[in-house]
Amino acid sequence: MELVKGKPLLQGRKLKEVRFKDQIIELINQKFSGYVCLTIEGFEGVEEGTLIFRVGNIIASAYEYLKYGIIVNGDAAIQQVFNASAADYGVVDIIELGATEAELIIAVHPKTRTKLDIKTNDVKKLVPNSFNPNFAKKTLQVVMKQYSSSSELFKKFGFSEIKVEG
């Protein structure tokens, strides 16, 4: 996901060194505007999750399975981002923006907008004790079902020149 450049508050910090739950609660309480980006070694390769804040509210979210080019947006991505915070290997970036710049991200990526109103008590419930690969499995299964034939699947992943016989 393309994001606006801002002021790095935390950049490339190992996920295991950051108390993610406490960090998110602090950002909400401080009326933070900007984004938190997690890049992790997930179920099948690199995954990236983003939470976008405007004045302490999470207003957008996206989660990407980079190996497959699959992006989950909005409310469906929030739980996946929080799940990613429990990964064994990953880094976190926190970038501060103005409130208007945070809204600009949504203008460019409207599908990322969330309807959920996440409060500090919700954050405590959303952060798991351990990473759960089932989010990836379920998401990938749904996408694979959308492409009923193997030729459609090959086109999706850029292998249109491959012929399937049978």
Instruction: Transcribe the chain into DSSP letters.
Output: ------EEEEEEEEGGGS-HHHHHHHHHHTT--EEEEEEEEETTEEEEEEEEEETTEEEEEEEEETTTTEEEETHHHHHHHHHHTT-SSEEEEEEE--HHHHHHHHHH-GGGB------HHHHHHHS-SS--THHHHHHHHHHHHHS-SHHHHHHHTT-TT-----
**The tokens of 157 are what?**
């992943």
What average pLDDT score do residues 85-102 get? 92
Residue 153's pLDDT is: 53
Query: For the residues 25-44, what does the mean pLDDT come to?
Result: 93
> If we measure between CA atoms, which residue out of 33, 86, 38 comes closest to residue 64?
38
- Whether residue 160 is predicted with pLDDT greater than 80 in this model: the reply is no
pLDDT digits (tens, 9 = 90+) for 42-91: 888 899 999 999 999 999 999 998 888 888 999 989 989 999 999 999 99
Locate 156 and state its tokens: 């999706």
- Amino acid letter, residue 158: G
* Intra-chain end-to-end CA distance of the chain, in Å: 38
Q: Where are the domains of the chain?
A: 7-131
Q: What's the pLDDT band for 26 if we cut at 50, 70, 90?
A: very high
Of 25, 24, 2, which Cα lies nearest the Cα of 15?
A: 24
